[in-house]
Structure formats: C-alpha cells, structure tokens
Amino acid sequence: MKLGLQVVLWIASIFFAYKIYDSISGPIRFNQVKNERYAEVIDRMKDIRTAQIAHKDVKGVYANNFDSLVKFIDEGIFTLIEKRDSSYLEYDRTYRIDMLREVIVTDTLGFVPVKDSLFKNTNRYEKMAYIPIEGVEDSTFQIKSQVINKNGYNVPVFEVKISKNTILYDQDEDFVKQENETISVDGVNGPEIVLGSLTNVSTNGNWPTIFDAPRQ
C-alpha cells in the first residue's frame, strides 16, 4: 500500500506540475502564434492598401472587389507628370498695361505599368484576397468601398477586414475570446483586424505601430 500510495502521489505531482506549467506557457505560446499570424495578415493588408491608393489615384475611386483590384494592377498605367511654376505677360484692359500672370504648368513625362511600379518582380498581389494562414488559406478578406459626404464633399473610402476568429481558428477558445475583447494601446483592439473605414477618410489600420516595423 505504501508503494501504491507513492506512485499515486508521484502521478499527482507530475499532473499538477504539468497544469502549472501549462497555465504559464499556454498564454505565451498563444501570443507567439497570434503575433506571427497577425504580422502575416497585416503585411498582406499593406499590399491591399498600396493597391487601393494607386487605384484611387488613377480612377478616382477605390476598388469594391478583389477581382477589379487585381485586374487594375495587371492592366493599369501610371502617368508620370512634372509640375513647374511659370509666368507670362497678359494685357490688362482695366489698367491698360501688361501684367505678370503666374501659373503651374503640368508636363507629361511618360507612362509606367502599375504592376511594375508597385509589385516589380513579384506576383504576390494575385493572392491579396486570401488569408495567408495555413488551414484557412481559402478564406478571404472582406472588402468594400463607397463614396461618402464629408463636410459637403463627396469622398471615396474603403474598408478591408478579417475576424480574429478566422486567423486564430485552431487556438484555445478562452484565449481567443479574451483577444476579441482586447482594449489596449499596444494591441489590435476588437474582434477584427481592420484597414480603412467606411465612415471616415482613412487608410490606416487598427493595429499598433509595432506591426509597421520592417520584418526580419
């Protein structure tokens, strides 16, 4: 009985030691996975932002779907221009003298494909719509654009988002629930990672600046 009791105590000790270790290491492992996946997702959203800004510069509005955005990158053309100050003399009938008029002259220097300008030597833009996480790589970002009225002006806006539940699909449910309720200056707040806004003029994301640093 003494030997049996010792075995039981050893098993219990190992079990409780494991539970203590897991309670400490679990959140650490979760944060490592979370931050790695967030970085991958945010990098792709940065590509989307680059493409959307170019789309607006050329077409005046943002793309409302990824098919249009990818097609624009494949076929779009940037017009290279140069603006310079100039002036000329013009006869003024009121004062009856030649008066100097200042103007800005715009010269067209040439044209360059959007693809070469933004994504030279890579075709990663072709996968912009998809979540770069193994296991959910067939899932896509939600994208939408529209024109809103701001202070009497019609302004194009866009929004791209993905839920944290999708990104962290295989992680501990309690940790994911806590992450969805995050309110922190150094965290991604709320249940989604969001780029842009449909109510405000913004091309920013809701992630902290740590994710804007160059990745090693």
End-to-end alpha carbon distance in the chain: 59
Note whether residue 84 is domain-resident: no
Positions in the chain short of pLDDT 50: 18, 21
**Residue 172: which domain range?**
35-76+119-212
Q: How many CB atoms lie within 10 A of CB 78?
A: 16
Q: What is the pLDDT of residue 105?
A: 73
Question: Would residue 168 count as lying in a domain?
Answer: yes
What pLDDT is recorded for position 104? Answer: 82
| Residue (of 64, 38, 29) closest to 206 by Cα position | 38
- Asked, for residue 24, whether it belongs to a domain, the answer is no
- How many C-beta atoms surround the C-beta of residue 44 within 10 A? 23
Residue 15 in any domain: the answer is no
- Report pLDDT for 185: 79
Instruction: Note whether residue 1 is domain-resident.
Output: no
Residue of 161, 215, 196 whose CA lies nearest to 55: 196
Q: Has residue 88 been placed in a domain?
A: no
- Tally the domains of the chain: 1
pLDDT of residue 21: 46
Residue in 42, 214, 73 with CA at minimum distance from that of residue 141: 42
Q: Is residue 6 part of a domain?
A: no
Q: Hey, CA dihedral for 21, 27, 30, 31, is it positive or negative? A: negative
Calculate ∠ Cα 43-44-47, nearest 5°: 95
162 phi and psi angles, rounded to 5 deg:
-150, 140
Neighbours of 95 (CB within 10 A): 8
The per-residue pLDDT for 184 is 84
Domain membership flag for residue 189:
yes
Q: CA-to-CA distance for 125 and 103, rounded, in angstroms?
A: 40
pLDDT tens across 88-129, in order?
778 788 877 878 888 887 777 777 899 999 998 899 999 999
Structure tokens given for 45: 């959203």
In this structure, the strands spanning 97-113 and 142-150 are unpaired
pLDDT given at position 156: 97
